[in-house]
Amino acid sequence: MKHRLVSTFFMSFGLSFVMSCWVTFLNLGWSDAFLGQWMEAFRLAWPAAAIAAFFLSPVVQKITGIFAKYLP
């Protein structure tokens, strides 16, 4: 359980950090407000990403195991 929590923490942090940056950039472009808007988007996205990653990771691992059987 400890491993799953730490993994969820880092994966959700990294993905929400990068994705909030990308979506903010697509919506606003590079502007004076970019950094503030990005950090606000990240602040809102990270908790949602952490909860989703925690509950979806067992399902994703099972699906990955099924698909991995068919890979060479």
Whole-angstrom distance, CA of residue 59 vs CA of residue 65: 10
Per-residue pLDDT of 21-56, as tens digits, reads 999 999 999 999 999 999 999 999 999 999 999 999
Whole-angstrom distance, CA of residue 39 vs CA of residue 34: 9
Mean pLDDT of the chain: 93
| Residue whose C-alpha is closest to residue 19's, from 47, 46, 50, 58 | 46
Q: Two tokens at 33? A: 């407000």
Q: Is the pLDDT of residue 16 over 90?
A: yes
Q: What is the pLDDT of residue 3?
A: 87
Q: What is the pLDDT of residue 43?
A: 96
Q: Is the dihedral of CA 52, 55, 59, 61 positive or negative?
A: positive
Is residue 41 within 8 Å of residue 20, measured between CB atoms? yes
